[in-house]
Amino acid sequence: MNIIEKTKEYVKNKLINEKTGHDWQHTLRVLENAKKIAIKEKEDIDFTVVQLGALFHDVADHKFGYSDVDRKNIVESFLLNTSLTKEQIEHVVYIANTTSFTKGIPLKTLESKIVQDADRLDALGAIGIARTFTFGGAFQREIYNPEEMNDTISHFYTKLLKLKNLMNTEEGRIEAEKRDKFMKDFLKQFYSEISTTT
């Protein structure tokens, strides 16, 4: 079993009980998005690092009380006795610790930009809408409350609709445009239905 397959098995077990939309299926989609973007890039890319970064990006997530050090220790301990170089392991740790939207860190490597775009794409479009309501339900947020800014619909404005303009790669931007339009159409329909009940 190669390192990618071993990591898939490891991460799947880590995320087995995750119910907020940051689960194993999300990780698989991010992995596939990252591979598609990487293939389109013209520059030299460490494809192994891209895949491992995508697989580890939500392990020991800060939303659940973990720190960057926690994630670093988990990634390093798993990858330590593999064929990866020290530099590759450090690169995977860097990607895992900088992908998050909330960090807002300007990324230094193309591999990290690819994984970040791949993760952001999964927050957009039909799957992004589904994940948003899954996350809102897990944290007992109201679907819609115009008097509050902590409802699920507000998340579209505080994060999701900003992502299209934050993509790092050309392929990411192209796909984000399509998914952003779908979300705006959804919101238009949502408000039209809400207006009939208020």
Alpha-carbon distance of 150 to 111, in angstroms, equals: 33
pLDDT score of 22: 73
CATH number of the domain bearing residue 20 = 1.10.3210.50
- Domains of the chain: total: 1
pLDDT score of 7: 95
**Is 43 buried (19+), middle (13-18) or exposed (0-12) by CB count in 10 A?**
exposed
pLDDT score of 41: 86
pLDDT score of 168: 95
What is the reported pTM? 0.91
pLDDT score of 102: 65
pLDDT score of 81: 85
pLDDT score of 43: 81
pLDDT score of 195: 80
Alpha-carbon distance of 32 to 27, in angstroms, equals: 9
Q: What are phi and psi for residue 103, nearest 5 degrees? A: -70, -40
pLDDT score of 76: 94
Domain residues for 107?
Answer: 3-194
Please list the pLDDT of the chain residue by residue as tens digits (198 residues): 799 999 999 999 988 876 666 789 999 999 999 999 999 987 889 999 999 999 999 887 776 667 889 899 999 999 998 999 999 999 999 999 998 766 677 899 999 999 999 999 999 999 999 999 998 988 889 999 988 778 999 999 999 999 999 999 999 999 999 999 999 999 999 999 988 655
Count of C-beta atoms within a 10 Å radius of residue 49: 25
pLDDT score of 148: 78
Question: HEC states along 66-108?
Answer: CCHHHHHHHHHHHHCCCCCCHHHHHHHHHHHHHCCCCCCCCCC
Q: CA 60 → CA 32, 53, 69, 108, distances in Å?
A: 21, 13, 10, 22
Alpha-carbon distance of 101 to 94, in angstroms, equals: 14
User: How is residue 10 written in tokens?
Assistant: 């490891």
117-148: burial string, b at 16+ Cβ within 10 Å, e else = bbbbbbbbbebbbebbebbbeeeebeeeeeee
